[in-house]
Structure 1
Amino acid sequence: MSREDAAARRLYAWEDRVVAPRDTSLVPFAQLQALVDHVWAAEGLRFPPRVRPLPRQARRTVARATRLAIEAPPELPSWVLLHELAHAMTSTAEGESAGHGPAFVGLYLGLLVRHARMPEAELVASLRTAGIDIDLAARPAFLG
């Protein structure tokens, strides 16, 4: 198992335990782009990624993101969309990505606090308990 695989598994377990129970909302595909545009602008960013359908052959993938696109199913939990937006923010147009590392976690945490109104102190404490590193000063990768 690679280091990234282990980090991803820890993060996914943390999300299942801490994040998912706090946000059970589902966003229909038709509304995803508007939500992406809103969050992107609220974060002071320009040129949001485009939302497109997740390919049918991606059976084990919930959603995925790059700097330029977010692929999603017919409906998506809003916290998963925030997860994918953090991936878009920690990726470059050239395909470089922070994976599920500390910069990703820091940006994702901020999105959960600001856009899903989750309690920052509790999330930070639970991340630390789970052994997940956080860069609280993380900035989108493409801002330099």
Structure 2
Amino acid sequence: MTPDRQRQRVYRWEDRVVAPRDATQLPAAIVAGMVEAIWSELGLRHPPCVEPLPVQARRRLADGSRLCIRVSGTAPSWVVLHELAHALSSTAEGWSDGHGAIFVGLYAQLLTRYLRIPAHELMLSLKQAGIAVEQSARPVFLDPAAPWPDSL
């Protein structure tokens, strides 16, 4: 796995651009239903499980992979979308794009679809932040011939 070179830039960008647009706090009990609903709406099967973060994870709101998303007691909806993008940009075998261009592309698609942040604003802000993005990103575990909407 290559170093996650964009991680800190993505976090700073989120703090400036995404977090101020969404103050919604979701109780952990609702997150599983949200993940399942979005996964199904995207035409995907076998969503990641949703579990609580360990109590010792005090500085983290959530984490995610293809197999599982873990959240603290409450999490902003944009954080859930961030973790869903990790689930879409990783495989069950453990490969992950980290915060790379595929992850950012999928995350931007989710933000546009579910938080209604205009795609052109996201792309401009990502460019200004020096963050690489694959605008036509699709889940890495899908067969390249499988149908996937051009834009979520």
Normalized against structure 2, the TM-score is what? 0.90
Q: Is the partner of 1:85 in helix, strand or coil?
A: helix
How many pairs align?
142
Identity, in percent, stands at 53
Structure whose residues are more often helix by fraction: 1
Determine the structure 1 residue equivalent to 2:80.
81
Tell whether the 8 Å contact from 1:39 to 1:115 is kept in structure 2 after alignment.
no
Moved beyond 2 Å, runs of 4+: none
Q: Matched residues in 2 for 1:120 and 1:46: separation?
A: 26
Determine the structure 2 residue equivalent to 1:95.
94
Change (3 A) 1:68 1:3: closer
Q: Is the partner of 1:111 in helix, strand or coil?
A: helix
Tell whether the 8 Å contact from 1:87 to 1:97 is kept in structure 2 after alignment.
yes
Q: Matched residues in 2 for 1:3 and 1:53: separation?
A: 27
Q: Matched residues in 2 for 1:46 and 1:115: separation?
A: 19
Q: Which runs of 5+ in 1 are unaligned?
A: none
Alignment of 1:1-144 (within 5 A): 3-4=3-4, 6-144=5-143
Query: What is the Cα deviation at residue 3 of structure 1?
Result: 4.8
Q: Which runs of 5+ in 2 are unaligned?
A: 144-152
Paired residue type of 1:110: Q
Paired residue type of 1:124: M
Q: Matched residues in 2 for 1:95 and 1:41: separation?
A: 22
Q: Matched residues in 2 for 1:57 and 1:96: separation?
A: 25
Normalized against structure 1, the TM-score is what? 0.95
Paired residue type of 1:95: G
Q: Is the partner of 1:95 in helix, strand or coil?
A: coil
Paired residue type of 2:22: D
Query: What is the Cα deviation at residue 101 of structure 1?
Result: 0.3
Q: Matched residues in 1 for 2:43 and 2:64: separation?
A: 19
Tell whether the 8 Å contact from 1:52 to 1:70 is kept in structure 2 after alignment.
yes
Q: Matched residues in 2 for 1:122 and 1:137: separation?
A: 16
Q: Matched residues in 2 for 1:3 and 1:125: separation?
A: 25
Query: What is the Cα deviation at residue 42 of structure 1?
Result: 1.4
